[in-house]
Amino acid sequence: MAAPTIVFDLDGTLIDTAPDLVEALNVIFTREGLSPLPYDTARNLVGGGAKAMIARGIEAEGRIFSPAKLENMFADFIAHYSDHLADRSRPFPGLACALDALAARGCQFAVCTNKLERLSVLLLKQFDLADRFMTICGQDTFGVQKPDPEVLRRTVAAAGGTMQRTIMIGDSNIDICTARAAGVPIVAVEFGYSERPVAEFAPDRTISHFAQLPASIAAIWSAI
């Protein structure tokens, strides 16, 4: 059987982006007279895209802002974050070696994220990772975002793969729900930004380090 297309989430899966995302969030909150969120609280808000992160952060402070105000805060967030997206963010340990091992087996890779496409590409280029992926798709690439399975379907198509030979890698219930709705297996990483232990959402496999990913992929693929 031909090797699978492996579709990765980005924030909390490929890259530990929370330090820079939380910093950007708190810069914007401070400008608006809101209290900065504790890192551990804000870290778990990552995953649904920046706009959702801002809205959930405001909700956590017991405040309500108008849609227009949220849009302005989102624009300010993106402007700040674009200049600081790789200040402290880093690939998770073992990622490059895992990609090398899987590529040697014929796997091809794609990214499906709720981050904006432009920022996703820019971030991965900072770590010389962008060229490893057949396509990098964000929430604005197709006008839909996870957990809508259509974004995963279109990402796989853009990578030249098929849904029947796709495996997803993510860190949250959003990713698991997306994979389930699209009918593809998913490996969940335990080092991401899930508010609850990701194993509680019943992924097909969990890993605690990227060194475990090739074996997990092989086990899933051999059972299909």
Residue tagged active-site, from 9, 11, 16, 175: 9
User: Is residue 27 domain-shared with residue 54, that is, in the same domain?
Assistant: yes
The pLDDT tens digits of the residues spanning 163-221 come to 999 999 999 999 999 999 999 999 999 999 998 999 999 999 999 999 999 999 999 99
User: Is residue 106 domain-shared with residue 203, that is, in the same domain?
Assistant: yes
User: Is residue 155 domain-shared with residue 216, that is, in the same domain?
Assistant: yes
User: Is residue 41 domain-shared with residue 62, that is, in the same domain?
Assistant: yes
Average pLDDT, the chain: 95
Does the annotation mark 9 as catalytic?
yes
User: Is residue 149 domain-shared with residue 171, that is, in the same domain?
Assistant: yes
Among residues 82, 105, 138, the one where a domain terminates is 82
Query: Measured between alpha carbons, how far is 69 from 114 in angstroms, rounded to an integer?
Result: 21
User: Is residue 102 domain-shared with residue 187, that is, in the same domain?
Assistant: yes
Among residues 36, 55, 82, the one where a domain terminates is 82
The CATH code of the domain that includes 54 is 1.10.150
User: Is residue 11 domain-shared with residue 111, that is, in the same domain?
Assistant: yes
Query: Measured between alpha carbons, how far is 87 from 75 in angstroms, rounded to an integer?
Result: 20
User: Is residue 113 domain-shared with residue 199, that is, in the same domain?
Assistant: yes
Burial class of residue 188 (count of CB atoms within 10 Å of its CB; 0-12, 13-18, 19+): buried
Among residues 64, 82, 100, the one where a domain terminates is 82
User: Is residue 30 domain-shared with residue 69, that is, in the same domain?
Assistant: yes
The pLDDT tens digits of the residues spanning 151-167 come to 999 999 999 999 999 99
- Amino acid 186: pLDDT: 98
User: Is residue 154 domain-shared with residue 214, that is, in the same domain?
Assistant: yes
End-to-end Cα, the chain, rounded Å? 10
How many secondary structure helices (H) and strands (E) does the chain include?
Answer: 9, 8
User: Is residue 70 domain-shared with residue 105, that is, in the same domain?
Assistant: no
The CATH code of the domain that includes 101 is 3.40.50.1000
Domain tally for the chain?
2
DSSP 11-80: BTTTEE-HHHHHHHHHHHHHHTTPPPPPHHHHHTTTTS-HHHHHHHHHHHTT----HHHHHHHHHHHHHH
Query: Measured between alpha carbons, how far is 44 from 210 in angstroms, rounded to an integer?
Result: 21
Query: Measured between alpha carbons, how far is 171 from 192 in angstroms, rounded to an integer?
Result: 5
User: Is residue 70 domain-shared with residue 115, that is, in the same domain?
Assistant: no
**pLDDT over 80 at 1, yes or no:** no
Where in the sequence is the domain holding 28, given as residue range(s)? 18-82
Mean pLDDT of 129-149: 97
